[in-house]
Amino acid sequence: GKDDCTIIEGAGRSEDIKVRVQQIRDHIEKTDSDYDREKFQERLAKLTGGVAVISVGASTEAEMKQTKARMEDALHATRAAVEEGILPGGGVALLRAISAVEKLELPGDEAIGARIIAKALEAPARTIAENCGKDGAVIADEIRQLSGSMGYDAASDEYVDMLKAGILDPAKVVRNALSNAASIAGLMLTTSVLVTKTEDADGGKKPASEGVIR
């Protein structure tokens, strides 16, 4: 079409391409603009390999934006999976990590902290189950009784092999989520005042501006 252009061959000298690739990588590291970073990454992809264009369409603008956001989430998840691999999803990987935490022999307050972390590792699996109207504690306990990548598939209400079922989490995402949660928890322990939201009588959340200081 009049808006498209395809260039055949003319790839250029490999030495020149390598120099340009390094220049673009330097630009990516130095730029503070998310827009510029995205464009540099697109250019880098075109120079170092192949590039795919996914066209997102919908009946309404709102639907299109939602679909585009899902596609971007899938893209970022795929990139993270390529970097550090995958883990069984549904909170299974974190539940399997509990046994490693429980084996730690720690003194005093450190042991208390380890117990808190072990309890927190149950939260994702429990929350998924509770969102489906199930007893989160029961589901989490059932998963812990299973082994390997066996977990709870909320869509089918069955216990399945999460890897075979395609229910996956990028290892990088799980690691960063746990690391960030620990960082925030540590920050809260050294915080004197927190502004929180309060619940209305009907269970709804009030805006932060109408919250309370603790």
Both 93 and 154 in a single domain?
yes
Q: Name 21's Cβ contacts closer than 8 Å, sequence gap at least 6.
A: 44, 47, 48
Q: Is the pTM of this model over 0.85?
A: no
Q: Is the dihedral of CA 173, 175, 180, 181 positive or negative?
A: positive
Residue 206 lies in a domain: no
Amino acid identity of residue 81, one-letter, is: A
What integer pLDDT is reported at residue 93 of this predicted model? Answer: 94
Select the more confidently predicted residue: 45 or 7: 45
Examine the domain organization and report whether 71 and 107 are in the same domain.
Answer: no
Taking residues 110-115, report their average pLDDT. 90
**Is residue 207 domain-resident?**
no
- Asked whether residue 49 falls in the same domain as residue 61, the answer is no
User: What are 153's strand-pairing partners?
Assistant: 158
Residue 88 has pLDDT above 90, yes or no: yes
Q: How far apart are the first and last CA of the chain?
A: 62
- Is pLDDT at 42 greater than 70 in this prediction? yes
Asked whether residue 37 falls in the same domain as residue 135, the answer is: no
Judgement on whether residues 19 and 118 belong to the same structural domain of the protein: no
Query: Are residues 65 and 3 both part of a single domain?
Result: no
Average pLDDT (73-101) is 91
- Looking at the fold, whether 173 and 75 belong to one and the same domain comes out as no
Whether residue 1 has pLDDT greater than 90: no
Alpha-carbon gap, residue 65 to 57, rounded angstroms: 9
Report pLDDT for 79: 85
Q: Whose CA is closest to 193, among 167, 177, 212, 214?
A: 214
Between 46 and 144, the higher pLDDT residue? 144
Side chain identity at residue 172, one-letter code: K
The pLDDT score that the predictor gives to residue 167 is 93
Q: Which of 84, 79, 4, 81 is nearest to 44 (CA)?
A: 79
Residue 145 in domain: yes
What single letter denotes the amino acid at residue 82?
V
175 domain residue, yes or no: yes
Q: Return the C-alpha torsion angle 171, 22, 29, 70, nearest 10.
A: -50
Total count of domains within the chain: 3
Q: Which domain holds residue 26?
A: 1-53
Does residue 214 have a pLDDT over 70?
Answer: no
